[in-house]
Amino acid sequence: MKEIKGGVCAAKGYAAAGVHCGIRKNKSKYDLAYIQSETRAAAACVYTQNLVKGAPLLVTKQHVADGYARAILCNSGNANTCNADGVDVAEQMCRLVEKTFGVASDDVIVASTGVIGQPLPIEPIASGMPLLADALSPAHGDDAAAAILTTDTADKQYAVTFRLGGVDCTLGGMAKGSGMIHPNMATMLVFLTCDAAISPALLQQALREVVPDTFNMISIDGDTSTNDMVALLSNGMAGNPPVETRGEDYETFKAALFAVTDHLSRRIAADGEGATRLLLCEVTGAADRDAARTVAKSVVCSSLVKAAIYGRDANWGRVLCAIGYSGVDTDVAKIGVRLASTAGEIEVCRDGAGVAFSEERALEILSEDEIRVLVSLGDGTAAATAYGCDLTCEYVKINSDYRS
């Protein structure tokens, strides 16, 4: 497997575009993105577990029920959620794709992100379709990645190449996510494209198998959004022998999918609203995978831990506190905690009790951009990693005047 430049247009047979159509007041920001495969592609999706779901998710579920899709249309600036006409607007967006690009409306994945509870006018989107048509190109993946952003400070793209049956394949993606992000799928908008030939059933299975250890392990603020989804297309244009059963090729495909989703998860967590540091909690020695995941997520979700990371304070007691209320039955007398970064590593807790350490050295370690909280439980061999960020005053500022 090899990392390459690119995102949703890295794989064969994909083109994209991003434009400003007028949903967002700031004319310098794109607000309408489009991705299209040359051919109908196997499709897989996972969605938010929030009971309140955006209208686009309801429409998308119907469109990918047969396991196939060909295009993705997404607007930013308005979530199209809790609107009486939301489903109708989402369906109109898909019909606009059919009218403009000749892609059947029921082969369109539709998504929206932005403010909840405000009607989404169809007029700006309709006026933006000719602009998308003019801009559609394999060279415009960056524009599409920019068009789905809201409070993000940077776009998030990644791609890898890998071999299936002796044939080179490519998988890439783009993501948005900065706030309203909390575990339990989905946690943001992610669009993934691949040129491998793989059955829709195995594509869905692979996505569901990697999500619990990647996107479901992110937490920025404890809020699970209403519009979040991950959509994956794979059009088979690489020409590999189709992957139709579990085996070596399936595991290779899943490894590539994990590599892309893991990278995007880290990028999302690092770009949390107001964040200054990426926070990773790596748990080892758990009784089973569920216990490892639960402990890791409890630590990165702790407001007190997040605030300590922002303040570069080695307040390891907050880590033990988060482990203690996680609900996992563990022997506290076996817990160990270390803090690590590119500046080094320091032990702060052993066998559930504090050990002497240099506060000055801890400060050096906690001053880096990526902080790792290493937790050992001593209950077994299972491990998991959760992705989070520090909690800053800027987070409050961003969300107190979000609509204005």
Which residues does the annotation mark as catalytic?
A: 187
Residue 56 and residue 79: Cα distance in Å, rounded? 9
DSSP β-bridge partners for residue 190: 175, 230
Residue 243 and residue 75: Cα distance in Å, rounded? 33
Residue 174 and residue 9: Cα distance in Å, rounded? 10
Residue 97 and residue 93: Cα distance in Å, rounded? 7
Longest distance between any two alpha carbons in the chain, whole Å = 69
